[in-house]
Structure formats: structure tokens, C-alpha cells
Structure 1
Amino acid sequence: MRTVKTLREQYQLIDELLEKKLQQIPALMEIAGIDMWIVFAKEYNEDPILEFLTPTSFPTARRLTCLIFAKTKEGFKRYNAGRPSSDLDPYYESIFNDVDEKQFAAIRAIIEKINPTKIGLNFSSHYAFGDGLTKSIYDDFAKAMSKEILDKVVSAENLCLRYLETRLPEELERYKEIAELAMDIVNEAFSFNVIELGKTTTRDLEWWLKQEVNRLGLPFWFPPTIDLQRKDSGPIYDDVTIERGDLLHVDFGLIYLGLCTDHQRLAYVPQVNETEVPEYLMKAFKENNHFQDIVCANFIEGRTGNEIFTASVNQAKAEGITPMLYTHPIGHYGHGPGPTIGLFNEQKEIKVKGDYPLYKNTCYALELNTKRLVPEFSNKDLYVFTEETIAFDGEKCIYLAKGRDHIHLVK
């Protein structure tokens, strides 16, 4: 039976990288034009970024957590302006004693001492990842600060996005293990060890996937879905018993070591006399693979999501492909911060989120589909839905799991 690292081992690996991740912040603040960044989080209403600024032993805010990052005359500093915490002490200098002083008074004192030019707070009109500051916290902050301080407040939106989307080399290497684990689970689901012909339904298979992830002590970041296409009826999205000749499709993602996967794979249930996936299916599938390659070739650092979308779709159409493209960033969150590259329900350039540029050392769910009229498939359109978790290293896209180049044969 497959296994994962113990919880203790998982937490150790995550915490080992925290200091390196925090060391990225000064450069990212410089790019964002911010010389002080204040992150507030209320207990059980955490800022989306808090979990990735603190160790695993600090999983939620404590009353009102406040972390401050600042450029000072003595160098870059990280402060804990919330309740003192031995869990945070290795990473942050505590500046609030929680006994004989008021929290916002301590925050104001450190701001006035450092006298920053721009103070970044986490509010954003477009990105949840940069919008963790609640109105009530801001109201309390504003009440305690001077007008001079409030005039320095700007959005830390870009800083939040860049911090969350950037992967360290160690994370990129770890991501391969995570993606392979996800695909190992899918490969077993697509086998006669799990599928009993004439009995197992698509919903049964979904529950098997959920149960296996749960058995490993992991969460899935969205409920897995199974659907299929059949010669006589085309696509079937309702619960249905799996039969020979079905083309199965899964959408599956889990969370492991702090990172999400997102894959869509196809599997063919062979007829009694078949030992390979039929050529007419492989022909349509290879066309989809080619569209994946087209999209990856258009991943050029600095290009916006909209530029990647338009160039990729136009090239595919020019080559006679019928494409749909809706790729999204992935990382700590399944639908993560970064450039939107089309949407399933909006096959066009997307304002604001599509205008965000592509940076190196970021990861994506390369999600798309193609369709082709197939005479052998009852003369119906065959839809090929695929999705691969990939990394972009600044020069090329890297597929994090094996097997994207074939339809899985159920056996």
C-alpha cells in the first residue's frame, strides 16, 4: 500500500523552508515599492497569507495576530506585534508584551520609530490573496494611528501575490513527488482492482478517490469528479455504471506538503478482444497533446496571461484544432495567485487578472480541451479534457508527473 511521510516529517519539511521563504520578502517589498508591510489576522478569520508566514506549530491567528516586516536603519527586521509566542520567536522579534500596553499603541510606536515612506496593508479589489484585512481591524488600526501614518498606507496586493506564487527550488523538486503521488492514486482508480464492470459507477469511483486520500491522512483540495464518453450516447456526467468501451475522465487534486495538485486524465475500458487504446482515440488525444505543447511554447517570462491565451488559441485554430484554454496558477492554493490564462466560461482575454505577467519559478494547472468529429465514435464530437500540473522555470514548462502523453488502459 502506498504511504506518505508521517505528519511530523511533513511539518519538519515545511518548516525547514520557512526561513528561506521569509528571506524573499525584502526583495519583493523593494519591487512593490513598500518599506513596511503589516499583516493582521483575527483568530478563525485568518488572512489567506498568514499560514505561509508562520511555522506549522502556529496554524491559526492568536486573538489578533500582527506581523510587521520593515526596512530599518539597522537592516531588515521582522516583528511579532501580537501576543508573545515561542513558536514565532525563531522567526520574529516580539515587540508587544500583552500585559501593560495596548496592542495598537505598540504598533504605532514601532511605525513612528521606523518612519517608513509606504506602509502596505492587505486590501485588494481584485485578488482574495491580497485582501485579508477585515474592515473591523482596519477601523481599529485607523482609530489608533495619526493622519500622517494613514496617508502612507497603500495596498500590498502585488507583494502578497508574488510571495505566494513564487516557488523555491526545493519546493519545485518536492512538487514532482507530490504530483506523482496524485497520479499513482489515479492509476489505481483506473484499474480492475477498483472497477468491477457492470457494478462500479462513476460516483463509486469518486468516493474511492476521496477515501484513498483520506486514508493517507491528506485532504483533497476539491471533490474529485468522474465522467465518461460512450459511443452510443456521447458525454455522460450523471452517475452511471462503467462498461467496456467507455472513455473515462477524472479531475483530481490533493494537498500534500503544503502544495496542491490538479490533474485531469483519461482512461479507456477495453473491449474483451482489445489490448490497446483504439487508434481513433489516440489520434484525437495526440492533437490535445499538441495543443498543450503550443501553450507551453507561449509561456515566455513577462508575457501576460492574456497574451499567452490569445497567441496559443490563435495558433491552434490556424492548425485546424478546436481549442478551449483555461489554465490557472497553482501552488499553496489550487486556484492560486498569478496570471489568468482564459476561463472555461469566458474564452477571451480577461481584464485585470489576465493582464498579470508570467514570472519564473511559478506553477500552473495547464487546463484545456480540444474536440474533433470522430467517424468511429458514432460520428460524434469527441472531447479531450486534460490538465497537468506544471512548473515554469523562466525558460520552459516542466510537467511534474509522468503519463500525460497517453490514455491510460484499464486493466
Structure 2
Amino acid sequence: MIKVRSVRERYEIQERCLKERLERIVPQAMEQSGADIWLHVSREYNEDPTFRALFPPMYPTARRLTILAFVKTEEGVRRFHVAMPDEDLERFYERYWVDWREEPQMAALQRLFEEYQPRTIAVDRSKNFAVADGLSAGCEALLLEGLDETWTSRMYADDVFPIKVMELRTPTEMELMPEVADVSYSILEEMYTSEVVKPGITTTQDLEFFMRQRAVDLGLEYWFEPTMDIERAGVDESRITGVIEPGDLLHCDFGIRYMNMMTDSQRLAYVARPGETEIPSELVDALAVNNRFQDIVCENMLPGRTGNEVFEASLAAAREEGIDAMLYSHPCNMYGHGPGPTIGLWSNQGSIPVVGDVRVDENTCWALELNVKAPAQGRDKCFIYTEETIMLDSEGVHYLHEGRDKITFIG
């Protein structure tokens, strides 16, 4: 059984990653942006989606109204918090609202603007990206009511900060992502065994609860409800549920959150018929086609390309090789469906305006999600659904866990 890190270790890692993010990634995002100040405003229990990227683990929610200001100066980016005193927060941010019992909070923020005279103030408002739309109507009203028009008129929506601050991985996160993937896949490997899967007895719902329970047992969160479905010879529908029978092709979808990092994975298993000792050759061949399409997509995930360009180039290459494929991959970072370039959608196999126009960057993590159709399971077009958690760095794409080229045999 795989072991996970203690809570103390996880907190230490998350704080190290936060320090790296604030010192490396935030300045990089500010350099790409035209903002003099990035303003982050969160209310308790209604936090901006970028909250988890900017605060230490011992500060799990906003305190009443928590404001951060990232200020571009000639010496670099200065980080202030305009919030009630907190020693955990003050290890990462300078406290600006010192006289908090006497001075109103908005007056302190106004004073900060007067000191630094920003020409442009970026706020998290967006109609295109959920993660960049964190300024609530209530918080915006507080800013408009509490600040001079001199400053509110300089506020504008800038998607760069929320996307890049959450999409780009720190050195420690890049180093630890294989470990996070190992923990996630270990649950699937434990599930796809004859001890757990009993043909004629075990149901797809049983296996869904197995994934949930094992994640909870390990002290982890699953960020979406795990799913399990079946492709069965003689049944036209590609994803059915119910009691598992010999000859079924099992397909799961599962992802965890661990140390503030996400996975998103789909793996296949075959339930043997009486007398079978290996996977039917047609399924082996179908998975090989799927693996080839995975590699095609990875070959086209080049930094500087947009998500739409990766999508179009990958499907064009698949068509040239006679592969019948669908592509719907997405960034996987602090959210499972994370900020960054969209590469196709299940519901739209075409170029996606705006969200598909974001460019691919190095030091990012992804869910390589796709399917192909190939002859198997008694029909001409059997769906082979897969999803791998992958990482892109300066050397290219890396699969984070072995086994993508195998269908687990349950005898």
C-alpha cells in the first residue's frame, strides 16, 4: 500500500511552493501584463478562485475581507496584504493596514494607491475564464464605494495574472508531480484486481465507492465524483453501468488533490472470460492505436502554440494515419479543469474561441484526455477512452506514471 506524506510535510511543501510562486511566477506574470498593481480581493467563504495559489495552508479562508496588492516597482514586485494582522500571512506579505483598529480598511487601500500612484490596476473580472472572474459583485461594490474615482477608473480586467499564476508550476511542483501521480494511480491499480472485482457480483457503483473510500482513507480529496463504466460485446452503447460480467472492458475516470496539485486519469481493465489467460488481441491493437494518438498530441504540444493550433495539428496528423479520434485535453494544475489553453472539448470538436487561443507554456501539467474508435468488442468501432496526467517542461512532454500502454487483466 502506497504511503502519503504527513500533514506537517504537506504544509511545508505547500509553503515552499507558495514562496517559489510569489518570487518567480508572480513577477513573470506582472512582466507579461500592463498592470502596475494587481489587486486580489476575497471575502470569507466566497474566495477568489486564485486564493489557493496565493495563501499559505494555515490561512485556509479569507478573514472577513482579505485584500492583497502586488505592486510593480523598479526594484521588483512588492507584496502587501491589506487585512487584519496574521503572522502566517505576514511571512509572505508585508502588512500595510497597520492601524487597523482606527483606520478603515478602504482608507488603507486608498493610501497605498496614493503612495504608489498606479496608472493601471488589474482586478479579477472576466467573462471568458472562470478562474479570472473572482471579484464578486459585493467586493466590487465595496471598492467603488470606498475608493476615489481616481483609482476605480484605473481598474481593468486582466486575465494574465489569474491564468499564469495558477497554470505555471514551480520547481518543487514539477519535481513532485510524479509522486502525486503515483499516489493517484496506485488507487486504480489496487482497484483493478480479482480481489476487488468479482464478476457477476461487483457493480460499477461499487468500484466508484472504492475509489472514493481509498482516497479518503489516504487523507486525500477527490476533486470530482469518480466514474466507472463498461463496454460490453453485443451492446451498442459504449458506456453502460451495472453488474460487471466476464468479457467486460472497464473504464474509470478519477482524480485527486494532493499537496495542492491535481491529477486526472482514466485507465482500462479487461475482465477475463472462463479459460482466458490474456487480453484479446483486438483490444491490445485498439489500445496501441490510442497510444499512437496520445503520442501525436504530445508531439504537437509545443510551447508558443495555441491550444487550437495543437488541436488542429493533432487531429490532422491522426487523419493522415487513418486514426478515428476525438481530442479534449485540458490543463491540470491547482484545479482539475485548470486555467490555461483548452485543447478541444468533448462537446465541440473544433477550434474554441478565446480559451483555445491561450498559448502553451513550459512548466505546466495537463490531463491528456482523448479517445479513438477501433475494431474490438464485437463491433467495428469500439471506443477506447484514456486520460493521462502529463507534464511539459523544456525537454518536452513526460508521462508521469507507467502503464498507459496496458489494459489491466483481471483473471
Instruction: Give distance in 2, aligned partners of 1:350 and 1:71.
Output: 33
Q: Which amino acid aligns with 1:240?
A: G
- Given the superposition, is the C-alpha separation of residues 242 and 236 from structure 1 closer, same or farther in structure 2, using an over 3 Å criterion? farther
Assess if the C-alpha contact under 8 Å between 1:263 and 1:388 holds in 2: yes
Q: Tell me how far 1:235 sits from its aligned partner.
A: 4.0
Query: What's the secondary structure of 2:339's corresponding residue?
Result: coil
Assess if the C-alpha contact under 8 Å between 2:143 and 2:152 holds in 1: no
Assess if the C-alpha contact under 8 Å between 2:27 and 2:76 holds in 1: no
* Counterpart for residue 219 of structure 1: 221
Q: Of 88, 104, 108, which residue of structure 2 is paired with 1:102?
A: 104
Q: Tell me how far 1:73 sits from its aligned partner.
A: 5.5
Instruction: Give distance in 2, aligned partners of 1:273 and 1:381.
Output: 26
Query: What's the secondary structure of 2:91's corresponding residue?
Result: coil
- Given the superposition, is the C-alpha separation of residues 390 and 73 from structure 1 closer, same or farther in structure 2, using an over 3 Å criterion? closer
* 1:185-218 Cα shifts (integer Å, max 9, x gaps): 1011110111122211111111111111111111
Q: Which amino acid aligns with 1:136?
A: G
Q: Tell me how far 1:2 sits from its aligned partner.
A: 3.0
Assess if the C-alpha contact under 8 Å between 1:18 and 1:53 holds in 2: yes
- Superposition pairs of residues 87-126 of structure 1, within 5 angstroms: 87-96=88-97, 97-126=99-128
Instruction: Give distance in 2, aligned partners of 1:104 and 1:309.
Output: 46
Q: Tell me how far 1:162 sits from its aligned partner.
A: 0.6
* Counterpart for residue 155 of structure 1: 157
Instruction: Give distance in 1, aligned partners of 2:200 and 2:87.
Output: 58
Q: Tell me how far 1:387 sits from its aligned partner.
A: 0.4
Q: Of 336, 340, 343, which residue of structure 2 is paired with 1:334?
A: 336
Q: Which amino acid aligns with 1:16?
A: R
Instruction: Give distance in 2, aligned partners of 1:238 and 1:100.
Output: 63
Q: Residue 199 in 1 paired to residue 198 in 2?
A: no
* 1:133-169 Cα shifts (integer Å, max 9, x gaps): 0112112212222232223212231111011000012
Q: Tell me how far 1:175 sits from its aligned partner.
A: 0.8
Instruction: Give distance in 2, aligned partners of 1:261 and 1:120.
Output: 30
Q: Residue 391 in 1 paired to residue 391 in 2?
A: yes
- Superposition pairs of residues 205-284 of structure 1, within 5 angstroms: 205-235=207-237, 237-284=239-286
* Counterpart for residue 409 of structure 1: 409
Instruction: Give distance in 2, aligned partners of 1:369 and 1:407.
Output: 15
Assess if the C-alpha contact under 8 Å between 2:232 and 2:248 holds in 1: yes
Instruction: Give distance in 2, aligned partners of 1:379 and 1:214.
Output: 39
* Counterpart for residue 44 of structure 1: 45
Q: Tell me how far 1:232 sits from its aligned partner.
A: 2.0
Assess if the C-alpha contact under 8 Å between 2:303 and 2:359 holds in 1: yes
Q: Which amino acid aligns with 1:11?
A: Y
Q: Which amino acid aligns with 2:159?
A: E
Q: Tell me how far 1:295 sits from its aligned partner.
A: 0.6
Instruction: Give distance in 2, aligned partners of 1:52 and 1:319.
Output: 41
Query: What's the secondary structure of 1:354's corresponding residue?
Result: coil
* Counterpart for residue 84 of structure 2: 83
Instruction: Give distance in 2, aligned partners of 1:234 and 1:162.
Output: 43
Assess if the C-alpha contact under 8 Å between 2:53 and 2:165 holds in 1: no
Q: Which amino acid aligns with 1:95?
A: Y
Q: Tell me how far 1:367 sits from its aligned partner.
A: 0.3
Higher alpha-carbon deviation: 268-277 or 337-346: 268-277
Q: Of 372, 375, 379, which residue of structure 1 is paired with 2:374?
A: 372
* Counterpart for residue 291 of structure 1: 293
* 1:53-110 Cα shifts (integer Å, max 9, x gaps): 1110000000000011112366531111011111111111111132001000100001
Instruction: Give distance in 1, aligned partners of 2:239 and 2:289.
Output: 23
Instruction: Give distance in 1, aligned partners of 2:331 and 2:166.
Output: 11
Q: Tell me how far 1:380 sits from its aligned partner.
A: 4.0
* Counterpart for residue 4 of structure 1: 4
Instruction: Give distance in 1, aligned partners of 2:313 and 2:53.
Output: 34
- Given the superposition, is the C-alpha separation of residues 254 and 74 from structure 1 closer, same or farther in structure 2, using an over 3 Å criterion? closer
Assess if the C-alpha contact under 8 Å between 1:300 and 1:395 holds in 2: no
Higher alpha-carbon deviation: 17-26 or 108-117: 17-26
Q: Which amino acid aligns with 1:408?
A: T
* Counterpart for residue 176 of structure 1: 178
- Given the superposition, is the C-alpha separation of residues 75 and 406 from structure 1 closer, same or farther in structure 2, using an over 3 Å criterion? closer
Assess if the C-alpha contact under 8 Å between 1:227 and 1:235 holds in 2: no
* Counterpart for residue 303 of structure 1: 305
Instruction: Give distance in 1, aligned partners of 2:119 and 2:266.
Output: 47
Q: Which amino acid aligns with 2:188?
A: V
* Counterpart for residue 346 of structure 1: 348
Query: Normalising by the residue count of structure 1, what TM-score does the alignment of the two structures yield?
Result: 0.96
Q: Which amino acid aligns with 1:202?
A: T
The runs of 5 or more residues in structure 2 that have no matched partner are: none
Assess if the C-alpha contact under 8 Å between 1:328 and 1:365 holds in 2: yes
Instruction: Give distance in 2, aligned partners of 1:18 and 1:49.
Output: 12
Assess if the C-alpha contact under 8 Å between 2:20 and 2:171 holds in 1: no
Assess if the C-alpha contact under 8 Å between 1:180 and 1:402 holds in 2: no
Query: What's the secondary structure of 2:356's corresponding residue?
Result: helix
Q: Which amino acid aligns with 1:262?
A: D
Assess if the C-alpha contact under 8 Å between 1:226 and 1:249 holds in 2: yes
Assess if the C-alpha contact under 8 Å between 1:42 and 1:63 holds in 2: yes
Q: Which amino acid aligns with 1:252?
A: F
RMSD over aligned Cα, in angstroms? Answer: 1.4
Query: What's the secondary structure of 1:355's corresponding residue?
Result: coil
Higher alpha-carbon deviation: 340-349 or 91-100: 91-100
Assess if the C-alpha contact under 8 Å between 2:307 and 2:359 holds in 1: yes
